[in-house]
Amino acid sequence: MATQTPFSFLEDFFRNLPTPTPPAWLVDESHRRVVLLLNHVLMQEPEAMQRLVRQSGRVVLAQWRSFTFALLVTPAGLLDLAVPGATPDLTLVITEESPFAMAQALMQGDKPAVRIEGDVQLAAEVNWLVDNVRWDVEEDLSRILGDAPAHLLAAAARKVTQGLRDFLGRKSGDPTHTSAGNPA
C-alpha cells in the first residue's frame, strides 16, 4: 500500500505551478558561484583533482527538469562553465521530477535516480567524485568564526539533519539509523 506524505497537497500544488524562467544573467551568475564552490571543494581533495586531470577538456551536462548545467573539466583538474552549445561527453539527467521526493531521498542518504548517457570512464570518475568528495563545512567556518563556534554550528546542523531524516521516515531496519540523537 502506497503511503502519502502529509505534504502531498504541497507537492501537487507545486507540480501544477508554471516553472518561472529566471533571467539569463541570474542563471549565469548562479552557475559561476556553483563552479567556485565545486572548485573550492575539489581543491581540498588532491586525488579528485588528479582524476579530473585525466578527463581534461571533457564536458559534463547535468539536467533536472528544465534546469541544465554544463561543466568543462580544465587541465588543472578543476571545473569551469562549458561554452554554450558545447557537445557533452557525458549527460546526467535526474529522472525524479518531484523536488519533494528528491529532497526526501537526499535526506535519507540516497542518490537520486539518474539516466546516464555518454562516456563510461567519465561517468565512473564523476561517480567516484560523488561518492568520495565531501565539503568540510566545519573547517571553512572555523577559518571565519573560530574553532568553537564552528564546531557548535556544525553540531547543530547535524542534529537538524538527523531530525529531518527521522521525520522523513528513514528505513527502520537500517543499522545506521539513530533516533532522538541516541546511537542505535
* Predicted confidence band of residue 15 (pLDDT cuts 50, 70, 90): low
The per-residue pLDDT for 14 is: 63
CA atoms within 13 A of residue 33's CA, in its CB half-sphere: 6
- Span 23-132: which CATH code? 3.30.1050
What is the residue extent of each domain of the chain? 23-132, 136-184
Would you say 16 and 8 are in contact if contact means Cβ atoms under 8 Å apart? no
* Predicted confidence band of residue 150 (pLDDT cuts 50, 70, 90): confident
Question: Torsion-angle region of residue 80: left (phi > 0), alpha (psi -120 to 50) or beta?
Answer: beta
